[in-house]
């Protein structure tokens, strides 16, 4: 599934699930080191666990962040 994030620098988040387990995450754009780190950390986690940890993280003055947008992408992926 490819999600188009809102309010952040990244342009796309590609999420692949195996049931409720995160198989892979890839960000297009954004802060390369940070997005790679987040993607690697959540790989192998249950999607609901990652959502709980990432939801509500803000980037500076913005009301959201790439991790927060990933939590939204994961919710949408679970709903498919």
pTM over 0.85: yes
For the CA atoms of the chain, what is the radius of gyration? 11
Identify the three-state secondary structure at position 14.
strand
pLDDT tens for residues 26-70? 999 999 999 999 999 999 999 999 999 999 999 999 999 999 999
pLDDT tens for residues 14-33? 999 999 999 999 999 999 99
């Amino acid at each position: 599934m490819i999600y188009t994030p809102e309010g952040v620098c990244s342009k796309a988040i590609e999420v692949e699930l195996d049931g409720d387990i995160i198989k892979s995450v890839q960000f297009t754009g954004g802060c390369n080191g940070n997005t790679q780190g987040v993607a690697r950390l959540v790989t192998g986690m249950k999607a609901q666990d990652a959502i709980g940890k990432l939801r509500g993280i803000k980037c500076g003055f913005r009301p959201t962040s790439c991790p927060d947008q990933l939590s939204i992408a994961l919710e949408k992926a679970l709903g498919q």
